[in-house]
Amino acid sequence: MPNIWSEEFGAAADAPIVLVMGSMSQGILWPDEFVGRLAAGGRRVIRYDHRDTGMSDIIDFEKDPYTWDDIKDDVLRVMDAHGLDGAHLVCHSAGGLLGQLIAVERPERVRTLTVIGSSPLGGGEGAVLMRALMGEPQPEGSLPEPTPEFVAFYREVIAAPPPRDRRERIERMIAEDRVLHGGGLPFDEDASRRLAERLYDRARDLDSAANHRLAAAAKPDFEPVGVLHRITAPTLVVEGTHEPAKPGHGALIAEGIPGARLMTVQGMGHTLPPEVHEELAGAVLAHTS
């Protein structure tokens, strides 16, 4: 089993929150200020780096292949390592798929579920994205496509040569952050650069995160279909008004989970900028109280 880097904040006796970030992402994408607000609100907050990202172990995928089931199980391993029988799961993007599946499979370990900027489990979001990038029509009933700006950016990334050095890599990370940020709030390029530099410098191997794509291809049917109704954990679903990657997906999650509540954050895209920290942290604290 790979070693998973994690850190925690707040008092050990407080109610635990485990933060689950999206695919190919390091745990520090949960902003320090947001984490601090949760800890100051009386929560024991844990964030971690997925395998093959940040300071967690790098996997030789050819020698030791894995699937998204293993990435999902890493969430439970983090909980075990911190001595938690159960926790409040707060999940972003593809991390929301992990949270939804854990809530289906292991309901006794999920006190509450918060899903931010994610897609409904079993909705085939990855296939929708690939068809959009390839310019192929979407079958009737598919999830809404990403925005044209999102699609255009990633088409350019696919066609472009890989970055040659640290400077080019960081510039591409900033450009991606700008697209994911959306157009609802001012984009702070200096803050984005500081974050990109931090992500670059703390990673053991940035390129290893691409193994998450191989993990998805290794088990294309990772997401079970038609199971959202089995989630019993109180669920909060959050989506920004300027979500570029998964627009409208939040409402579909909320519709599928009994009793789930949908919260819309004005101006927010697919990132967690300072302007939304107070509102978002307040909602999570209320939901986990």
pLDDT per residue as tens digits for the range 5-20: 999 999 999 999 999 9
Q: How confident is the model at residue 51 (pLDDT cuts 50, 70, 90)?
A: very high
**pLDDT (average), residues 255-273:** 98
Q: Which two tokens stand for residue 225?
A: 């279909």
Q: What is the pLDDT of residue 118?
A: 98
Query: Is the four-CA dihedral 111, 117, 119, 124 of positive or negative sign?
Result: negative
C-alpha angle 201-212-77 in degrees, rounded to nearest 5: 85
pTM, to two decimals: 0.96
What is the rounded distance in angstroms from the CA atom of residue 88 to the CA atom of residue 73?
16
Report the residue count for the chain: 289
pLDDT bucket at 270, cuts 50 / 70 / 90:
very high
The 8-class DSSP code of residue 268 comes to -
The answer to whether domain 6-126+204-287 has CATH 3.30.160.20 is no
d(CA 74, CA 3): 10
CA–CA separation, 54 and 195 (whole Å): 13
pLDDT at position 52: 98
User: Domain limits of the chain?
Assistant: 6-126+204-287
The pLDDT of residue 41 is 98
Number of H helices, E strands in the chain: 10, 7
Confidence of residue 83 (pLDDT cuts 50, 70, 90): very high
**Residue 90 pLDDT class (50, 70, 90 cuts):** very high
The Cα–Cα gap between 226 and 100 comes to: 12
Average pLDDT, stretch 131-137?
A: 94
Give per-residue pLDDT as tens, 229-242: 999 999 999 999 99
Q: What is the residue-averaged pLDDT of the chain?
A: 97
